[in-house]
Amino acid sequence: MSTLDFTTGENPDIDPGVTIGYRHADDADPTVIGDDARIRRGTIVYADVRAGDNLVTGHDALIREDTVLGDDVVVGTKSVIDGTTVIGSDVSLQTGVYVPTHSDIGNNVFVGPNAVLTNDPYPIRQERDMVGPTIEDGASIGANATILPGVTVGEDAFVAAGAVVTEDVPPDTLARGVPATHHSLPEPLDGPNLLA
């Protein structure tokens, strides 16, 4: 474990081979991690990160600077949070999830394996401000789904596996297909995520 500038709450369980407080700038603030963290080998957490209680990472996760995480957040193996992002409480980012800068993820959100959120509408073709998606409380994103820049996935909405979401998804709506179209939630998907 790299002993850089950070503090943890009570009962941390941190594997060898973890870097916490990776300094990206001379004036970076220390990393702060709450109680009962479980951080696995290969994880890198930059300076200027604030995480609540019960943070759990898989192996080789990356959490970049200016990220704020609530309580009970899982950042799966090889997932990347590219910084300047707010993530609520009771959130599960499964293996291989990519969260770009300027994203906002609410509470009680599930993001399935290898889902990709994006923040650049015209990659390397035009100079644009980066704006990531907003994933509202209770939303669920299926495996391998792609959410385009600036899109809002509404409260308790469900994005099906493999969907490409190009426009806002209303609350309590199923988005499926390429490009995703909107449908009523079928009965098995109606109701809150069971993460909290």
Per-residue pLDDT of the chain (196 residues; tens, 9 = 90+): 444 689 899 999 999 999 999 988 889 999 999 999 999 999 999 999 999 999 999 999 999 999 999 999 999 999 999 999 999 999 999 999 999 999 999 999 999 999 999 999 887 777 778 899 999 999 999 999 999 999 999 999 999 999 999 999 999 999 999 999 999 999 988 889 998 7
Core vs surface per residue 170-187: b (16+ CB within 10 A) or e: eebbbbbeeebeeeeeee
What pLDDT does 8 receive? 93
Q: Which CATH number fits domain 2-175: 3.50.50.60, 3.40.50.2300, 3.10.450.50, 2.160.10.10?
A: 2.160.10.10
C-alpha 17/C-alpha 2 separation (Å) is: 7
Q: Residue 128: what are its φ and ψ, rounded to 5°?
A: -140, 155
What pLDDT does 1 receive? 43
With beta carbons less than 8 A apart as the criterion, state whether 158 and 140 touch: yes
Q: From 169, 151, 148, select the one nearest 159 (Cα to Cα).
A: 169
Token pair of 8 as six digits = 């943890």
What pLDDT does 24 receive? 87
Q: From 63, 64, 13, 11, select the one nearest 40 (Cα to Cα).
A: 13
Domain assignments of the chain as residue spans, ordered by start: 2-175
